[in-house]
Amino acid sequence: MGKIVLIVQGDLHIHLGADISAITSRLDNIMDKTQLAAALNEITAQNEKAKAEILAKIAALEAAVAEAGNTTPAIDEALAALKVSVQGSDDIGDPTV
C-alpha cells in the first residue's frame, strides 16, 4: 500500500468516520470497475470493427455476384444464409430480440 504524506502548518483536526482499510477497499473497487469498463469498451470497439469488415465483405460478394450476372440458386441461398448468420450475431446485443 502507498503512503500518505501530509505537511501541516498550524492546527489540524481529522475525524474519519470509517477506518482506512474500508476506504482503501472502496477505492480499489472503484479502480477495478474503471479498468473493467475500459476493457469492455475496448472489446466493443474491436467487435464493431470486425462487424464493419464483415459487412463490407458481404457487400463486395453481393456486388461481385451481381456483376458476374451468372448467379445460381445455391449461391443465392449461401449468400442469404450468410446474411442471416451475421444478423444473428448483430442481434445478440439488441434488446428488442
Distance of CA 34 to the CA centre of its chain: 13
pLDDT tens-digit readout, 25-78: 777 777 788 888 888 899 889 988 988 898 898 889 888 888 888 888 888 898
CB atoms within 10 A of CB 81: 10
Cell representation of residue 4: 500518505
Nearest to 40 by CA among 32, 51, 50: 32
In a domain, 8, yes or no: no
Based on the structure, what is the number of domains in the chain?
1
In a domain, 84, yes or no: yes
User: pTM for this one?
Assistant: 0.54
In a domain, 49, yes or no: yes
Cell representation of residue 64: 461481385
Q: Which domain holds residue 69?
A: 27-91
Rounded CA gap, 54 and 56, in Å? 5
In a domain, 71, yes or no: yes
Rounded CA gap, 50 and 89, in Å? 11
Give 97's pLDDT tier (boundaries 50, 70, 90).
very low
